[in-house]
Amino acid sequence: MDNIDKLNLCVMEDDDFQRKMLIKMLHSLGVTSVLEGCDGEQMPEVVKNQTIKPDIVLCDLNMPNMDGLEFLRHLGEAYKNIAVIIISSLDNKLLVAAGKIAKMHGIQLLGVIGKPVMLSQLESLLSKFEFMKNKKEAQIVTEIGFTLEEVLGIHAKQIVPFFQAKVDLKSNRLIGAESLARRIHPKYGVVSPYYFIPILENSNNIDELTFNMLENSATACRSFHDKGYLISISVNLSLVSLSDPNLSEKITQIVRKSGVENKYIVLEITESAAMTDIANAMENLTRLRMNGFSLSIDDYGTGYSSMQQLTRVPFNELKIDQSFVHDFGDNEALRIVVESSIHMAHKLHVKSVAEGVETQQDWDMLKSMKCDIAQGYFISKPIDLDAFHDFMKIFNIK
C-alpha cells in the first residue's frame, strides 16, 4: 500500500496483549504513527494533544466503561469521515450489525474482522482506505445549493454522460456500459447527479435531461459501433417520465435518429418505479419492450414489492443493488440474498447484473455464483466519452 507510513492510526483495545500485537502488526506493515487506548472513554485524552486527527481507528466492541457501540457514536460526532476497522470475537451477526451502525454515524467502515486478527486481513483492510479515500475525493463537491433556474440554464451544455463498464463474468468481455449523468462545473469539476437530478424531478423538468442523455448516449453508442465495438448502453428512466403516455414514442424516435438499433439500448427503471400500478407506466414499458428495447430493473431488492413486479413487466435484466453486493463476501446474509437473486433471475430467463463490484473477492464470488454481468469500481469508475473509447481498447470485444 502506497504512503502507509503517512497514515495516523489509533488502536482502541482493552486487552494489553492483543493491543500490543495489533500495534506490532501495524508497524510490520509500515505504519509509523500509532496511538493507543484501552477503552472508548480514553479517546479524547489520547488524541487531544495531536495536531492531526487519526485517519483510521481499530476498535474492539467489548471494552470497559464505554463499549464499542457507544464509542462509534461519539467517534462519528467528533470526526467527519474518519475510517474504522471493527475487531471483535463476538458472533458474526453482531459484527455485521455493528458495521451498519458505524456507517449510520457517517464513519467510513473499512471492514469488520473477528479475533484473532491475521496480518493478511489487516493489510487488506488498510489497502481499502486509499481506494475509498480516492473514490470519495473524486466525488466531493462543495455544497453549492443549485437553483432550478441555474440547472435549467446549464444542463444542455454542462450535463454530459459518463460511462461505467459492464463486463460478462463468464467470458471477461466488455459487453456494455451504463450512461450516468454528470455535470462538468467550470469551478468544481465533476458534480454528482444528486446535486441536480432531484431539483429537476421535483419541478417536473426531468424529461428534457432524460431525452438529452438518451440522445447523447445513443450517439455515443453509434460511435462505438462504428469502430467495431458492438456493446449496449444503459440509460436511466425517471419514474416521473413514465407517466407520459407518449414517452415510448419519443424514446423510439430519438434512438432511430441516432442510427442505433433499439436492441442495443437498455432502459433502466428503478424498482419503485416499476412496481407502480399506473396504466401509463405499464403501457410505456410494455411498448418499449415491443419496440425492441431491453428493460432492466435497477436497484433490485430495495423496493416494496419485488416479486410482484417481476411478473408484471417483461424485463430482460435484473440489477442487484450495490448495498447487497458491497462486502457480501464477509456477510452470510448478504451472500444468501445475492445468490438467491441470481438464481431467481436465471429461473426467469433474465440476465443478472451485480452493481458495486469493488474487489477481487466480489468478482470471484459472483463468478462462482454464475452471475452474468458485473459493474463497479473494480472494473472501472464512470468515465467520460473519450476515456471510455480508450478503455474499450484493452478488451478484445470486436
pTM of the entire structure? 0.68
More confident residue, 334 or 51: 334
pLDDT at position 323 is 81
Grid cell in block for residue 258: 441516432
Could you give the CA distance from residue 75 to residue 84 in angstroms, rounded to a whole number? 9
Per-residue pLDDT tens over the stretch 287-299: 999 999 999 988 6
The neighbour count for residue 156, using CB atoms within 10 Å, is: 10
The C-alpha atoms of residue 187 and residue 268 are separated, in whole angstroms, by 31
Q: Cα dist. 337→302, 343, 346, 392 in Å?
A: 12, 10, 14, 32
| Predicted local confidence at residue 164, as pLDDT | 96
What is the amino acid identity at position 234? S
Region of poorest pLDDT, from 48-62, 82-96, 278-292, 326-340: 48-62
For 106-117, what is the mean pLDDT?
A: 82
The pLDDT tens digits for 306-315 are 566 667 778 8
Which stretch, 6-20, 66-80, 380-394, has highest mean pLDDT?
Answer: 380-394
CB–CB of 107/72 below 8 Å? yes
Residue 181 is predicted with a pLDDT of: 87
Rounded to whole angstroms, the Cα distance separating 256 from 262 reads 8
* pLDDT at residue 267 in the model: 96
- pLDDT (average), residues 87-104: 77
The confidence score (pLDDT) of residue 141 equals: 41
Place of cell 482502541: 12
Residue 157 pLDDT greater than 70, yes or no: no
pLDDT for 139 equals 45
Residue 117 DSSP symbol: P
- Strands (DSSP E) found in 303-387: 317-320, 351-354, 373-374
Percent of the chain at pLDDT exceeding 70:
80
What distance in Å separates the CA atoms of residue 88 and residue 61, rounded to the nearest whole number?
6
The residues spanned by each domain of the chain are 4-139, 148-392
pLDDT band at 329 (very low <50, low <70, confident <90, very high): confident
Angle at 325 between CA 320 and CA 326, to 5 degrees: 140
Which range among 122-131, 229-238, 246-255, 312-321 shows the weakest confidence by mean pLDDT? 122-131
Q: How far is Cα 342 from Cα 34, in angstroms, rounded to an integer?
A: 43
Which tens digits make up the pLDDT trace of 207-239?
A: 788 888 999 999 999 999 999 999 999 999 877
**Residues 6+ positions from 133 with CB-CB distance below 8 Å:** none
What CATH number labels 148-392? 3.20.20.450
Which whole number is the average pLDDT over 31-60?
Answer: 71
Question: How is residue 394 written as a grid cell?
Answer: 484493452
Output the pLDDT for position 206. Answer: 77
Residue 33 has pLDDT above 70, yes or no: yes
Contact 94, 115 (CB under 8 A): no
CA distance 180 to 184: 13
pLDDT for the residue numbered 302: 57
Q: How far apart, in Å, do the first and last CA atoms of the chain sit?
A: 36
What is the predicted pLDDT for the residue at 143?
46
User: Of 29-33, 220-224, 342-346, which range is least confident?
Assistant: 29-33
The whole-angstrom separation of Cα 67 and Cα 291 is 59
| pLDDT class of 303 with cuts at 50, 70, 90 | low
Would you list the DSSP string of 147-179? -HHHHHHHHHHHEEEEEEEEEETTT--EEEEEE
SS3 state of residue 249? helix
Q: Mean of the per-residue pLDDT values for the chain?
A: 81
- The pLDDT of 187-212, averaged and rounded, is 74
Fold adopted by 4-139: Rossmann fold (3.40.50)
